[in-house]
């Protein structure tokens, strides 16, 4: 099994920031939209709920390439792990990046590095299509864990 982990460490008025790890090794950061009270969802402006989710590689019609997709997120569809820099780039997805130069900003996309890491777990067969190749990806899960400030925000407080 391949395990990705986003441990939330900072909550702002516009963003949620996590440290991002793959198979126990720290890779960088994940930036999402802001955390809201349970049951409150603003389309394109709310981070996904904390939890453990299946992940697969699928072809994105919007981005026109194979990308990690997070599955079975309650109230969300089309959640991807991809590059970007600010909350304006998330639209409900997780931006994965190597650096965090500012509180609500990340840079240095890890999307290609993650795709390469996942691809190394599969041996490509001659003449195999991209779809068949990625269908053989071992079980992969993303765990998103709230930090200590989440309880106050869920109770109606605002981020510091």
Non-local (6+) Cβ contacts of 102 within 8 A are: none
How far is residue 61's CA from residue 58's CA, in Å, rounded to a whole number? 9
Question: Which range among 62-71, 97-106, 124-133 shows the weakest confidence by mean pLDDT?
Answer: 124-133
Question: Which range among 6-10, 31-35, 150-154 shows the weakest confidence by mean pLDDT?
Answer: 150-154
- Whether 38 has a pLDDT exceeding 70, the answer reads yes
pTM of this prediction?
A: 0.90
- Whether 159 has a pLDDT exceeding 90, the answer reads no
Q: What angle do CA 45, 159, 5 make, to 5 degrees?
A: 65
Supply φ then ψ for residue 134, to 5 degrees: -70, -25
pLDDT band at 148 (very low <50, low <70, confident <90, very high): confident
User: Which pLDDT score is estimated for 24?
Assistant: 94
How far is residue 21's CA from residue 25's CA, in Å, rounded to a whole number? 5
pLDDT band at 160 (very low <50, low <70, confident <90, very high): low
How far is residue 27's CA from residue 40's CA, in Å, rounded to a whole number? 30
Dump pLDDT digits (tens) for 106-141: 999 999 999 999 998 888 788 889 899 999 999 999
User: Which pLDDT score is estimated for 151?
Assistant: 78
- Whether 9 has a pLDDT exceeding 70, the answer reads yes
What rounded mean pLDDT belongs to the chain?
A: 91
Question: Which range among 77-81, 92-96, 120-124, 148-152 shows the weakest confidence by mean pLDDT?
Answer: 148-152
**Strand 79-82, strand 94-102: pairing:** parallel
Closest by Cα among 44, 46, 45, 55 to 20: 55
């Amino acid at each position: 099994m391949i395990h990705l982990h986003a441990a939330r460490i900072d909550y702002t008025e516009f963003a949620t920031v996590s440290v991002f790890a793959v198979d126990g090794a720290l890779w960088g950061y994940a930036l999402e939209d802001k955390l809201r009270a349970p049951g409150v969802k603003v389309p394109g402006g709310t981070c996904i709920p904390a939890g453990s989710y299946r992940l697969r590689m699928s072809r994105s019609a919007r981005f026109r390439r194979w990308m990690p997709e997070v599955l079975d997120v309650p109230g969300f569809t089309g959640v991807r792990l991809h590059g970007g820099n600010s909350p304006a780039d998330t639209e409900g997805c997780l931006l994965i990046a190597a650096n965090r130069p500012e509180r609500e900003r990340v840079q240095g996309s890890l999307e290609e590095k993650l795709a390469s890491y996942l691809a190394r777990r599969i041996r490509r067969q001659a003449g195999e299509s991209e779809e068949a190749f990625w269908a053989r990806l071992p079980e992969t899960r993303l765990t998103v864990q709230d930090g200590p400030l989440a309880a106050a925000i869920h109770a109606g407080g605002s981020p510091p």
